[in-house]
Amino acid sequence: VADARRALDVAGATCDVVASGGIVTPQDARAFLDLGAVAVQVGSALLHDPTTAARLRLVSEDSLAD
């Protein structure tokens, strides 16, 4: 994510980076957001634990409060 964000910045691109893959825990989501992603995509994690979306939502609400 950080490499993609830097490359886009150097190129003068004005698009957002959305992280995908390996996002299972709120800590994973926070790490990707801290690296410059504007959003995270979860898929398989929802199949393994249906509460993933609710837990990730709490992280996003906490980060908005910061």
Q: Name the pTM for this structure.
A: 0.71
The pLDDT value recorded for residue 54 is 83
Return the structure tokens found at 41: 């995509």
The pLDDT value recorded for residue 46 is 86
What's the chain look like in SS3?
A: CHHHHHHHHHHCCCCCCEEECCCCCHHHHHHHHHCCCCEEECCHHHHHCCCHHHHHHHHHHHHHHC
The pLDDT value recorded for residue 5 is 87
The pLDDT value recorded for residue 65 is 56
Ordered mean pLDDT values, 10 residues apiece, the chain (66 residues): 90 91 85 89 85 76 58
- Specify which residues 20 forms β-bridges with: 41
The pLDDT value recorded for residue 28 is 87
The pLDDT value recorded for residue 61 is 66
